[in-house]
Structure 1
Amino acid sequence: MTTFVCSGRSDIDSIIIYKGLRGEDSPLQPDHYHGFYEIFCLLSGKCRFLLRDQVYELEKGDLVFVTPGELHHSRYYPGINCEMVDILFKKSFLYQDVVGSAPSFMGSIPSLYLEEYFELLSRMLSETAGLDEYSPDFTTCYLQQLLLFLARHSVMHQPEPELINVRDADIQQATRYIYQNFQRPISLEDAAEVASLSPTYFSKKFKLVTGMGFKEYLNYVRLKHAQTALLTTSNTITDIALECGFNDGNYFKDLFRKVYGRSPREYRKNPDAT
């Protein structure tokens, strides 16, 4: 059964910034996606963050930039509380597009600039109290300053970090295998063989590390590619389903509607509808 869902916020009409404390007792965050950008900033502690086919270990000063439609979630370690700031926005909220075509990424703020980074986040948070009628404009300016800060210090262009630790490199191999071979039939046994694990142990470990079952993850990857094909090709919906690894066109249509709330045909006609 596919359990990844659209975020509880189906849409936003302004920049949202909030600060919180999360840990093992926090409500379990489901695998989700949404139609706006998110910047997850870790101020203290340590946690795991799933982004597409990567599972990262975040520490103080790390952040994750999530583009619209990307599957993600965070997971927390026993006994470790994490202080974080979450920023949600759309390009249309900015005075100037400083995001461009930047992909989702995980980055680390250089230690030399951490104080400046934390001060900028603090200023953004102070404006959420609505100090006066200028607060929305200050919030937008600070967000643009943050995005420029990330670009200036090459946080947006850092090489991909390694997986959380070498013990989970086998799961990393499996997720990459799925991304590279989603168009053909892939069984749990195939992925387990790539990871050099027994199918039973692989299934348990895959769920533990990624937060998703093997079939859920495979369907997510296929649906993401189908989304792109619907908007960039004139292929029939049945052909797209087959090209993305779905043997049954009706199953593809039902799954697409269940996950995205619209049929493939409706999505192709109006991808920006909410």
Structure 2
Amino acid sequence: MRGIREKILPPGGHSFRLLKWDRSLGEVETIISPQQSVRVAGAGNRWHFHTEMELTLFLRGQGTRFVGDHIGPFAPGDLVLLGERLPHYWHTNGVTSGLSIQFHFPMDHPFWGFPENLSTAELFQRSGHGMAISGKTAQVISQLMQELPKNTGAAQLGILLIILARLVAAPQPDLKLLSGGAFNLPNESPHQEIIAKAVRHLIANFREEVRLEDLLKLTRMSRPTFARQFKKHSGHSYSSFLNKLRLQAACRELEKSERGILDISLACGFPHVSFFNRLFRREMKCNPTEFRLRVRSSDKPAPSKKSTAPQAEPDPSIRSLFPPA
């Protein structure tokens, strides 16, 4: 999904920008030092893109993430690497908090003058699809990111380099590509804000009947132009995008509520439960009842028992950087 280009400037004396937020993605601060931070305009709560890569960690909150043509849920611990010019947006439900690193190393940047950094080139290329990071890799990187605000100067840069090295060395199952297509967007497009307006309308009203005629009136486009531009900017047809929004809402209802399948399908905007069931099986590879049983069984805590296994050692790269006082 295309959005509005965000222009990012690292603070003086820094080669990258470190952001934090404690309540909302619209209330973001740039961390200058452990004692100083400056409020900046946050763009994470609307469609946008930038020339910088970004690594975003949610410490608190949940909602729906949009990365390129990917639409999916996020929860605390969600960690995503975004490539250059990849449009993204986090639609949050309530209060959130987290950290984000934004950096830009074009091919003429001194970063590439060190031969040790050449191994990151493939990672940077793959990040054009967006990557959800999980497993041990996510645990280690989350720890490292939370150390960044406590450090300055070369120590901060060293942590970023360790993070990149961890991503390069990550096992394949820990890195999941999100967007089916990579995006290489121009700085400006006359249709970016218009399509973003249509997307905001869909997100706000997907539980109701959404008529194509209303979107054409909102965007002041003809039917062929709207269909072409929506597909070009989002990677989806209008109807596919709308169905994905409704499916994500239905999945949350199935996981959290006791409502019946018919009630959920209607509440999420599907006019016919038969269509909802067919679409759900096609996209989720199971029916709604099976999905509910699966997610609830996976949430049950394992029986408690005293473990004789030794406690996991802190990651050695973290231990060496931050020895105990």
Please give the TM-score of this superposition, normalised by the length of structure 2.
0.44
Residue in structure 2 matched with residue 236 of structure 1 by the alignment: 260
- Unaligned runs of at least 5 residues, structure 1: 1-21, 23-28, 54-59, 63-81, 99-108, 137-162
Contact (CA 8 Å) 2:197, 2:219: kept in 1 or not? yes
Contact (CA 8 Å) 1:38, 1:88: kept in 2 or not? yes
Question: 3-state SS of the aligned residue for 2:197?
Answer: helix
Change (3 A) 1:30 1:209: closer
Deviation at 1:120?
A: 2.5
The correspondence for 1:208, drawn from 232, 237, 248, is: 232
Change (3 A) 1:115 1:87: farther
Cα deviation, 1:22-42, whole Å, max 9, x if unaligned, reads 9xxxxxx98346788442144
Residue in structure 2 matched with residue 221 of structure 1 by the alignment: 245
Letter in 2 for 1:271: V
Change (3 A) 1:178 1:115: farther
In the TM superposition, what are the counterparts of 1:1-274 in structure 2 within 5 Å?
A: 31-32=69-70, 37-42=78-83, 46-51=84-89, 61=103, 86=131, 88-90=133-135, 94=139, 119-127=158-166, 167-271=191-295
Letter in 2 for 1:242: L
Tell me, in whole angstroms, the C-alpha distance in 2 between the residues paired with 1:96 and 1:168: 33
Change (3 A) 1:117 1:187: farther
Deviation at 1:118?
A: 5.3
Higher-Rg member (1/2):
2
Question: 3-state SS of the aligned residue for 1:178?
Answer: helix
Contact (CA 8 Å) 1:188, 1:203: kept in 2 or not? no
Letter in 2 for 1:198: S
Q: Percent identity over the alignment?
A: 23
Change (3 A) 1:93 1:51: closer
Letter in 2 for 1:40: L
Change (3 A) 1:89 1:116: farther
Tell me, in whole angstroms, the C-alpha distance in 1 between the residues paired with 2:82 and 2:200: 26
Deviation at 1:253?
A: 1.0
Change (3 A) 1:191 1:129: closer
Deviation at 1:167?
A: 4.2
Contact (CA 8 Å) 1:41, 1:84: kept in 2 or not? no
- Unaligned runs of at least 5 residues, structure 2: 1-52, 54-66, 92-101, 105-123, 172-186, 299-325
Contact (CA 8 Å) 1:91, 1:97: kept in 2 or not? no
Q: How many pairs are equivalent?
A: 178
Please give the TM-score of this superposition, normalised by the length of structure 1.
0.51
Farther-moved stretch of structure 1 (121-130 vs 221-230): 121-130
Change (3 A) 1:218 1:52: farther
Change (3 A) 1:97 1:232: farther
Cα deviation, 1:82-125, whole Å, max 9, x if unaligned, reads 65765611599638987xxxxxxxxxx99xx7976654232134
Change (3 A) 1:48 1:255: same
Cα deviation, 1:161-185, whole Å, max 9, x if unaligned, reads xx97674111111111111111222
Deviation at 1:266?
A: 1.0
Deviation at 1:224?
A: 0.9
C-alpha RMSD of matched pairs (Å)? 4.4
Letter in 2 for 1:170: I
Change (3 A) 1:115 1:213: farther
Deviation at 1:197?
A: 1.5
